[in-house]
Amino acid sequence: MNHFDTPANCKQEMKADQNFNFYMTDLENWQPMKKVAEVFPQFTQQQLKRLFWQRKKHPGLSTCYRQVGKRGYVCLPLFGLWLAGQLPEQRS
C-alpha cells in the first residue's frame, strides 16, 4: 500500500475535484487567451498560442482551455495549477 491509497488522500482528492469545479464554473476565471500573457508575463503571446495549440500533448492542459467559436479561453486558476503540476491528469 502506498501513501496515495490512504483515506485522507482520497478525501483530499475529492476536495480538490470540488475546487476544480468551482474554478471552472466561475466565468470570471475564463479569460481570452490574449489576456493570459498579461497575467503571466513570463510567457509571450506566441509561446502561449503554441502551447495551447499543442494542448493534447500535455496532460491536463485541455482542462484549462475552451474554444468558443474562433476565440480561445483559458481558466487562469487551472492554468496556474497546471503550471504547478497539480491537476489530476498530471498526477496519474
Give the Cα separation of 51 and 68 in Å (integer).
18
Question: From first to last of its 92 residues, what are the pLDDT tens digits of the chain?
Answer: 444 444 444 444 445 556 778 888 899 999 999 899 988 899 999 999 999 999 999 999 999 999 999 999 999 999 999 999 988 888 86
pTM for the complete prediction? Answer: 0.76
DSSP-derived 3-state class of residue 87: coil
Is the separation of the CB atoms in 80 and 71 below 8 Å?
A: no
pLDDT of residue 15: 52
